[in-house]
Amino acid sequence: MTKTAKTKSPDKEFSNSFLLFGKIDSESAYEVCNWILSNNFIKEKHESLNLFINSEGGELTAAFAIIDTMSMSAIPIKTIALGQICSSGLMVFMNGAKGNRILFPNTSIMSHRFNAGSDGKFHELKAIQKEFDLTHERMVNHYIKCSGLSKREVIKKMLPSEDVYLTVDETIALGLADIVSSEAVEI
């Protein structure tokens, strides 16, 4: 059984599969985090959890909430990309359990720097600049952790000033995914 990020259904709460489709925001992050945590607290735990992702990206803070919850899960989380994994959707995908980050051949994959804007008084803008710098550093460190690339390689290959579209083979070569599958995935 699977459950979508927008559905709250107690009878499906402990399913080992979840569909994260669409924009990543606070609501979808809550649903994914709740699903992961609920499965970690049941007596009869699944051997693994399956997070199916088809996302154009969204809010980085929401994505990092999902990433941190995945990282603390005692149950390995397999990530399966369908359709597209772009921006923060890619960041969530690549945080899956090593050896279990699965792409399908028609998946569209895109990485880029985050964008943000702010207005306010000079001192407020200086303060928010620190958060922008910290966010960029968190992104770079996440790519390093998930790929094994150096900081220099991450900035050059994954986070240059323009969007970076990747083939499934390039994504695997960069260490962001493990398997390309055109067959049914063992769930």
Which residues does the annotation mark as catalytic?
A: 87, 112
Q: Give CA torsion, residues 6, 8, 11, 16, to 10 deg.
A: 40
The residue behind tokens 């702010």 is 118
- Compute and round to an integer the Cα radius of gyration of the chain: 17
| Residue 125 CA: distances (Å) to CA of 27, 59, 119 | 28, 20, 7
How far apart, in whole angstroms, are the C-alpha atoms of residue 32 and residue 20?
7
- Please spell the DSSP secondary structure of 58-119, one letter per residue: B-HHHHHHHHHHHHH-SS-EEEEEEEEEETHHHHHHHTSPTT-EEE-TT-EEEE--------
CB 177, CB 170: distance < 8 Å? no
How far apart, in whole angstroms, are the C-alpha atoms of residue 108 and residue 54?
9
